[in-house]
Amino acid sequence: MNGLQIPMEQVLALAGILFSCGLLGLMLRRNIIFMLMSLEVMLNAAALAFVAAGAKWSQADGQIIFLLILTVAAAEVAVGLGLVLQIQRRFKTLDMDQARRLRG
């Protein structure tokens, strides 16, 4: 394998940082669109870890899983945006703290 060699540890660290950013965004943001974007960041962080692992052990599996995650993310965004439209239509807001009816 030739080309730019990036150490595994650095790639995993980047993936970890990205994942944590996404997680924090999911927990802290109240706007549903930002929550969806945070989800995308988390998915891509996981995908990056897969690709890195695949490159390290020269296995195609890592890239296959990356393609799978890409597909899942696309499908999830399609459904998610549809839900966002409905939420906006019904609650007239995208703030998820206000758009709730269930009270335990």
Partner 1 sequence: MTAIWLIPLFPLASATLLLLSAGRLPRQVAAVLGAGSVGLAAVCVALTARAFLADGEVREFTLWTWMAVGEFTPRIAFYIDGLTVVMMSVITGVGFLIHLYSVEFMWEDESICRYFAYMNLFVGAMLLLVMADNLLLLYLGWEGVGVCSYLLVGFWYRDPANGSAARKAFVVTRIGDTAMALGLFLLFTELGTLDIQPLLAAADSQWQVGDTLPILATALLLGGAVGKSAQLPLHTWLPDAMAGPTPVSALIHAATMVTAGVYLIARTFGLFQLAPPTQEAVAWIGLSTLLLAAFAALAQHDIKRILAYSTISQIGYMFLALGVGAYASGIFHLVTHAFFKALLFLAAGAVIHCLHHEHNIFRMGGLRTRLPVVFWSFLIGSAALAALPFTSGFYSKDAILLSAWELPGIGHWLWAGGLLGALLTGIYSFRLVFVVFFGEAHTQPDHQPGWKMSLPLAVLCVLSLVGGLLVLPLGNVFPPSGHHAAGHTIEYISIGTPLLGLLLAYLLFLGRQLPVDRLVDSAPGRNLRNFWLSGWRIDQLYDALWVRPFTSLSRWWRNEPVDRIYNAVVAFTQWAHHKLAALQTGELRWYATTMVFGLMLLLAIMLRNAT
- Give residues in contact with partner 1 (CB under 8 A): 23, 26-28, 30, 32, 35, 96-97, 100-104
Burial 20-34 (b: 16+ CB within 10 A, else e): eebeebbeebeebee
Given a contact cutoff of 8 angstroms between Cβ atoms, the answer to whether 54 and 69 are in contact is: no
SS3 95: strand
Neighbours of 15 (CB within 10 A): 20
Nearer of residues 25 and 62 to partner 1, judged by Cβ:
25
Q: How far is the CB of 5 from partner 1 (least distance, A)?
A: 30
Single-letter amino acid, residue 39:
L
Q: How far is the CB of 57 from partner 1 (least distance, A)?
A: 22
Given a contact cutoff of 8 angstroms between Cβ atoms, the answer to whether 40 and 73 are in contact is: yes
Q: How far is the CB of 37 from partner 1 (least distance, A)?
A: 14
Nearer of residues 55 and 84 to partner 1, judged by Cβ:
84
Nearer of residues 3 and 104 to partner 1, judged by Cβ:
104
Q: How far is the CB of 9 from partner 1 (least distance, A)?
A: 19
